[in-house]
Structure 1
Amino acid sequence: MKKATHSSLISSFLLLWGFLLLQVSCTSLQQKAQNQFSAGEYQVAINSYSKLLEKEPDNSKANLYIAESYRLSNRVEKAADFYEKVSEEDATFESHYYQGKSLKGQGQYEEATAAFEAAKKLTMDDERIALAEKEIQNIEAISSIEPIWPNHELENYELLNTSGIDYAPVLSENYLYFTSSRGAGDIYPATGQGYTRLFRARAEGVNVDAQNVQTLPEFPNEGGLNQGAIAISPDGNTIIYARGNAGTKNDLPDVSLFASYFRGGGFTEPIFMPVNGEPEYWNSTPAFSPDGEVLYFASNRPGGFGGSDLYKSTKLANGDFGNVVNMGPEINTPGNEMFPRPMPNREFYFSSDGHPGYGKLDLFVYKEEEGKAVVRNLGPNFNSLADDFGIFFTDYPKEGFITSNREGGKGDDDIYYFKDMTPPPKVVNVLLNVETRERLETGEEKILPQTRVVLYDENNQTIDGNFSSQNGRLRFPLEPEKNYSMIASKNGYFTKSIPYSTVGKTPSQDELIEQVTNIALDTTIVLEQLVLERAIVLENIYYDLDKAEIRPDAAEELDKLVQILKDNPGIRIELSSHTDARASDAYNDDLSQRRAESAVEYIVSQGIDSDRLEARGYGERQLIIENAQTEEEHQTNRRTEFKVIEITD
């Protein structure tokens, strides 16, 4: 009995001792993980806190710091379950808000919206409520995003990428410069990936010699820190890049911009740039303006609109950059904006997770549309749930590069190239067959050979011209949906101009089947002989009873005579008016004279010199049908004529 009691006491002691050892072990591990988190060693901290969760799955601190480690190392999409655990224990605005960000990064938009709504209920702070509401509005706007270039296609540059990090390519003087973790000897504890360095390879457009990548030759990469996004001035004489995340206490605590200048046949050692401001500010993703006079970059310095904002700095007289200015709320948001890319046409490309987008960083353009500055998401053919950033055009806007860590890549961040795959438009060849004819006095028509025909575009510029053949034919190639005019001339004939349009006379692109379609069109130009003193009746010139004013329908017919006079500037004409015989001679003479003068006045009002016109009223003295009986016969006698009375040229 005593023996049994003694054995029981030993077991209880061992159990208590084991429990105390476990507590000490957990406490020690938690302190170690906390130290790693505080040092920014987020991946190492995740590993330590994960071991702690194996023993204590409901440890609220461990869940929180794992979630925060993922968020702060730009992997917030992996943090949703951990934020959810935190919210189950002690929900806060932050736990629900960042859970929403994580769920959005996974494409779970409904669940993300619910998390943002829950976050709004846990704060009375208007700014925080606005943050959550902005995220909800951004999710609602996703359905309205349309591709800017619907036929652009992305392709992973597999030969260039590695299983690590490859990002932010820029082209300069037939070399592609980019950032990569390839060949890294040390691991960056924040991400668990190798430290990044700067590399280059020969390139022509998007065609890169990926088999011969070399480290940056201008100056050596430094070990134990990250060399990040690079910018090269348009003249190739200045290199600016981001450098930081050093593992030693002697270096700068965060990421800063460094510059190297071409001097005396080589590049200088990189130096810290004044635009960085305070050492604790994060500054990165530089880019030059097309003329090299402005430097754009991202920074988290105080006074911005959110996490990281885009800034610009103007080159000073001494060559340094100063006068740092925030680019404003049209571009910057409460989220993160980075990787600027200004273009010569004043369009401004950048990446953001604060404008309406699919998940994390998306590519956007800031440009002017209809007199208003707008920000547009580049669309689903460029952007994904993951980070999409660092656009660079090698041939704007047809081809270039971006970086993405989307699913299906070769490594973490991968370089992608894009090309415009819009199929070439189907070709329509329009051939206009022109026939030149003359109208005889009998009213019949016959072929008029060797007639000069000149083709003009809608701006009255000469396109083509030729003489018709002995068969009165010639041919002009035209373009679809265009307006033209032709002028036909021949000695002894009235020169004549006619409009011609191919608008609506060819199939649309959607209707075309073959790559090349030939369309033949036909038209005829009929010329009148130019004979002195031969009267030509102007049809459909009518006047109201006992009146001489030009009616609208008569004006349309007189416009044809105006065109004849414009086409034939070397003629003078007599314009005559005739009446029927149903009133007195004196009345008819007066009425016909007034009508003839009224017609001449109208023609002069259309730009014809009055010296080229004579008005004659013949009354009933030149009847075509004597003793007219019917109204139709009287109408034949009531007519307006013109005849050429002089040819000056």
Structure 2
Amino acid sequence: MKHSYLFILLFAVILGACTSLDKKGTAQYQAGEYQLAINTFSRILEKDPDNLEANRIVAESYRLSNRVERAVPYYEKLVELDSTAENYYKKGIGLKSQGEYDRAKEAFSKAAEMTLNDSLELRSKRELANLEKLDNIQPYFPNHQLENYELLNSRGIDYAPIVSENFLYFTSSRGGGGIYQATGQSYTKLFRTRADGVNVDVQGIQPMPEFRNEEGLNQGAIAISPDGNTIVYARGNSTNRRDQPEVSLYASYFRGASFTEPVYMTLNEEPGYWNSTPAFSPDGKTLYFASNRPGGYGGIDLYKATVLANGDFGNVQNMGPEINTPGNEMFPRLETNGNFFFASDGHPGYGKLDLFVAEPNNNGYTVKNLGDNINTTADDFGIFFTNYPKEGFITSNREGGVGDDDIYYFKDMTPKPKVVNFLLNLITKEQKDDGSQEILPQTRVTMYDENNKLVGGDNTNQQGRVRFRLSPEQDYSIIASKSGYFTKSITFTTKGKMPDQSELIQDVTNITLDTTVVLDQLILEKAIVLENIYYDFDRAEIRPDAAQELNKLVKILKDNPNIRIELSSHTDSRGSEQYNEELSQRRAESAVEYIISQGIARERLVARGYGESQPIAPNENPDGSDNPEGRQMNRRTEFKVIELLED
């Protein structure tokens, strides 16, 4: 009987202690003291692991203090004890933040199936759709590399760096100042130190001097106007009940020789709205910020306000559904090219907050995840470029950091392309009557690019050589000229000749190319046969194959605009002399008309038909038999220069 009494008494003591802890923890939770609530209800769970309310408050406390990844075991217990769609949804959010994508899909699917709430169903299906898109995300800055700024970060919270007038400003929990009971960390303050780009003076960190950091509240997420005269920052979570109940934006203005004491901004609207993460546009005329005010698209949305004539901010507008989602969007950053960077957990991402860019287009924006070389399953946010887009800072609480939120710097590590020089060795030669070629020295060679711009010119040396430096992937025209010779132009290209960068070993590679230009002597009245000019029997029309050969003569005439030529047509001895003469005249005139149609002036051309009167080979053999080879040679088209025109 005595032992029974003692057991009953002990049970009553334990029950009373649990009841007392429950009341205490509930009060802490309702006051937003989430870390204290976690500590209190964890003591209850040690004795009663299946306590529904204790699991719920611990899970929610982790979620509401932005540690949802640590809430997963408690949501798993909740769906075991109380299988609601809401619990499955929150479990899915926690699993997503851990990178457990397949398990997260199962949880979101379960939530979508179970719920009768249209909003929760849509949110669950959106999360499922976002997870399906992860494999399609490509790095936006593929060669950017992140590095933890270990010497800058503390063991606590460091986040949201910006650079203004060669100073780095950032938020940090270093230096004490009381404990923020929602997270168990010290309250945050604003600090600054000198910086040159991403190179920071880590020894000179001090509380920002423009105005005094206040005790017993969080100060952070600072923005400074481009002219340096306006500071906007977030301030809240005060322990003073007479203070504003939520995080709000405050502004300080440079007046005379110093900054004013920060003042509450009217764009906060209602005191109960959460407003934070401000950023100025590059021209200083617009202030972007995040808010949970009603009328948005869910969670925290991004807004913009314009600077009014009195220096205040107004005309607040929501950034719209292309940027804002049912999730949370914050930490905006507009660049001069119109690209709008921000952090979100509502667009397709890897876990918690990811960094995104909204590229402007004709219909609004195209939103892209920056990719897995920037983002992780943890919170990644607060991007600031010190040299867009090559270097800057972000904030992340990813694994492997120095403290909680850490500042990281990034640089574009794109390998410098290896240099390829194209060198053209050109040789000039002359064509001899016997078909051989000889070096032609002291020939003028000029080179033009594909825009007909002169890019080089020189005379060949005694060996007929000259060298030019060419650019990759370019077309060129080369003109060679020498007194007493036909000027000649050729084309040359480096397109398709560039080697693959991965195959190059040295930083500078010289590729030598060769070409030859052969010139013909220009002798007045010397006949030059045009090969392969054929006509149909008893016809004078230019056939396509003949046109191709005549085009070569057209090119000679264009290269040599100071010559006047006679184009002559000849026949063999078949047919009467009069017939052959008339036929050859028609053929010569037909050839001349074709050449004129290609842009050559009529006065530079003379058409002559010689018939059979100027054979260059016998039409018959000595025995009187037919000589087919000789007749073929006599059926020819020739041209000769008959005059050199004045320039």
TM-score (norm. length: structure 2): 0.95
Residue 373 of structure 1 deviates from its aligned partner by 4.3
Alignment check: 8 A CA contact 1:314 1:321 kept: yes
One of 617, 642, 646 as aligned partner of 2:643? 646
Inter-CA distance 558–152: structure 2 relative to 1 (3 Å threshold) = same
The equivalent of 1:181 in structure 2 is 173
For 1:417, the equivalent position in structure 2 comes to 409
Task: Sort the Cα spacing of 1:17 and 1:432 in 2 relative to 1 into closer, same or farther, 3 A.
Answer: same
TM superposition shift of 1:185: 1.8
Partner residue in 1 for 2:553 = 561
Q: Quick one: structure 1 residues 345 and 553, their matched pair in 2 at CA, closer, same or farther if it must change by over 3 Å? A: farther
Deviation at 1:369, TM superposition (A): 7.9
Other-structure match for 1:386? 378
Structure 2 CA distance for aligned equivalents of residues 364 and 562 of structure 1? 60
Amino acid across the alignment from 1:136? L
Query: Aligned ranges for residues 58-207 of structure 1 at < 5 Å?
Result: 58-207=50-199
Q: 1:590 to 1:120 in 2, by over 3 A?
A: same
Q: Which segment is superposed worse, 14-23 or 101-110?
A: 14-23
Q: Distance in 1 between matches of 2:255 and 2:637?
A: 88
1:433 positional shift? 0.6
Worse overlay, 420-429 or 87-96: 420-429
CA RMSD of aligned residues (A): 2.0
Equivalent position amino acid for 1:83 in 2: Y
1:533-590 superposed Cα distances (whole Å, 9 cap, x missing partner)? 2222222223333333333333332222222222222222222222333233333333
Q: State the secondary structure of the residue aligned to 1:356.
A: coil
Match for residue 589 of structure 2?
A: 597
Offset of residue 429 of structure 1: 2.2
Amino acid at match of 2:641: V
Say which SS state the counterpart of residue 303 (structure 1) adopts. coil
For 1:644, the aligned partner's letter is V
CA shift, 1:529, in A, is: 2.2
Query: Are the counterparts in 2 of residues 315 and 322 from structure 1 also a CA contact under 8 Å?
Result: yes
Change (3 A) 1:502 1:23: same
Residue pair 1:175, 1:201 contacting (<8 A) in 2 also: yes
Deviations 1:244-297 (A, max 9, x none): 111111211111222222221222222222222222111111122222222222
* Separation in structure 2 between the aligned mates of residue 539 and residue 372 of structure 1, nearest angstrom: 64
Q: Is the 8 A contact 2:276 2:289 kept in 1?
A: yes
Could you report, residue by residue, the CA deviation over 1:432-490 in whole angstroms, capped at 9, with x for unpaired residues?
Answer: 11111122333322111111111222212122211111111111112333222211122
Q: Which residue of 2 aligns with 1:439?
A: 431
Report what 1:465 is aligned to: 457
Paired amino acid for 1:565: L
1:86/1:476 Cα in 2 relative to 1: closer, same or farther (>3 Å)? same
Letter in 1 for 2:369: N
Identity over aligned pairs, percent: 66
SS of aligned partner of 1:210? coil
1: CA distance, partners of 2:65 / 2:344 = 16
Residues 327-359 of structure 1: per-residue CA shift (max 9 Å, x gap)? 222221111111112112222211111111111
Question: What is the Cα deviation at residue 116 of structure 1?
Answer: 0.8
Number of residue pairs matched by the alignment: 641
Aligned to 2:368: 376
Asked if 2 retains the 8 angstrom alpha-carbon contact of 1:63 and 1:85, the reply is yes
SS in 2 for 1:518: strand
In 2 relative to 1, CA 104–492 (structure 1 residues): closer, same or farther, beyond 3 Å? same
Which residue does the alignment assign to 2:224? 232
What runs of 5+ residues in structure 1 fail to find an aligned partner?
A: 1-7
Instruction: For residue 370 of structure 1, report the CA deviation from its aligned partner.
Output: 11
TM-score by structure 1 length? 0.94
For the residue of structure 1 that corresponds to 2:585, the secondary structure is helix
Asked if 1 retains the 8 angstrom alpha-carbon contact of 2:79 and 2:88, the reply is yes
CA distance in 1, matches of 2:17, 2:547: 106
Give the conservation status (yes or no) of the 8 Å contact 2:618–2:627: no
Instruction: Answer yes or no: is the 8 Å Cα contact 1:162–1:182 preserved in 2.
Output: yes
**Residue 263 to residue 370, structure 1, CA distance change in 2 (3 Å):** closer
What letter matches 1:204 in structure 2? D
Call closer, same or farther: CA 1:161–1:526 in 2, change over 3 Å: same
> Quick one: structure 1 residues 617 and 339, their matched pair in 2 at CA, closer, same or farther if it must change by over 3 Å?
farther
Q: Which amino acid aligns with 1:606?
A: Q
Q: What's the CA shift for 1:239?
A: 1.7
- Between 1:504-513 and 1:380-389, the stretch displaced more is 504-513
Q: Which of 628, 634, 637 matches 2:634? A: 637
Shift of 1:209: 0.9
Q: Return the letter of the residue paired with 2:507.
A: Q
Q: Which residue of 2 aligns with 1:327?
A: 319
Aligned to 1:505: 497
Structure 2 equivalent of residue 580 of structure 1: 572
Shift of 1:104: 0.9
Aligned counterparts of 2:568 and 2:150: Cα–Cα separation in 1: 85
Whether 1:18 and 2:15 are equivalent positions in the alignment is no
Provide the rounded CA distance (Å) in 1 between the counterparts of 2:291 and 2:493: 58
In structure 2, the CA distance between the partners of 1:171 and 1:606, relative to structure 1 (3 Å rule), is farther
Please tell me whether the aligned partners of residues 250 and 263 of structure 2 are also in contact (alpha carbons under 8 angstroms): yes
The answer on whether the counterparts of 2:144 and 2:373 sit within 8 Å (CA) in structure 1 is yes
Question: Distance between the aligned counterparts of 1:15 and 1:212, measured in 2?
Answer: 64
**SS state of the match for residue 8, structure 2?**
helix
Does the alignment pair 1:477 with 2:435?
A: no
Q: Which residue of 1 aligns with 2:623?
A: none
- Pair 357,614 (structure 1): closer, same or farther in 2 beyond 3 Å: same
1:367 aligns with 2:367: no
> Structure 1: how far apart are the matches of 2:225 and 2:566?
75
**Whole-Å separation in 2 of the counterparts to 1:222 and 1:589:** 111
Distance 1:370 1:446, change over 3 A: farther
Question: For the Cα contact (< 8 Å) 2:254–2:260, is it kept in 1?
Answer: yes
Q: CA deviation at 1:207?
A: 0.9
Tell me: CA distance 1:444–1:297, structure 2 relative to 1, closer, same or farther (3 Å).
same
SS of the aligned residue for 2:452 comes to coil
Given the superposition, is the C-alpha separation of residues 525 and 122 from structure 1 closer, same or farther in structure 2, using an over 3 Å criterion?
same
| In 2: Cα distance, 1:167 partner to 1:114 partner | 34
Answer whether contact 2:618 2:631 (CA < 8 A) is retained: no
SS at 2:458's partner residue?
strand
AA at the equivalent of 2:372: P
CA contact (8 A) 1:481 1:502 kept: yes
Q: Is the partner of 1:510 in helix, strand or coil? A: helix
Query: How far does the alpha carbon of each residue in 1:29-86 deviate from its partner, in whole angstroms, 9 at most, with x for none?
Result: 1111111111111111111111221232211111111111111111111111111111
Task: Confirm whether residue 401 of structure 1 aligns to residue 398 of structure 2.
Answer: no
> What's the secondary structure of 1:530's corresponding residue?
coil
Structure 1, 67-76 or 16-25: larger mean CA deviation = 16-25
Give deviations 1:293-340, integer Å, cap 9, x for gaps: 222221111121121112222233333322222222222111111111
Distance 1:312 1:616, change over 3 A: farther
| Residues 506 and 519, structure 1, Cα contact 8 Å, conserved in 2 | no
The worse-fitting range, judged by mean Cα deviation, of 70-79 and 543-552 is 543-552
- Find the aligned partners of 1:450 and 1:191 in 2 and give their Cα distance: 85
Query: 1:368 Cα shift?
Result: 5.4
1:5 paired residue number: none
Task: Tell me the distance in 2 between the aligned counterparts of 1:241 and 1:590.
Answer: 98
Give me the whole-angstrom Cα distance separating, in 2, the residues matched to 1:591 and 1:261: 97
Q: Among 213, 232, 246, which residue is 2:205 paired with? A: 213
Q: Hey, what's the Cα distance between the residues in 2 that align with 1:362 and 1:610?
A: 73
Closer/same/farther in 2, CA of residues 224 and 457 from structure 1, 3 Å limit? same
Distance 1:632 1:622 in 2: 16
| Residue 161 to residue 535, structure 1, CA distance change in 2 (3 Å) | same
**Higher mean C-alpha displacement, 26-35 vs 566-575:** 566-575
Superposed CA offset, 1:214-265 (max 9, x none): 2112222121111111122222222221111111112111112222222212
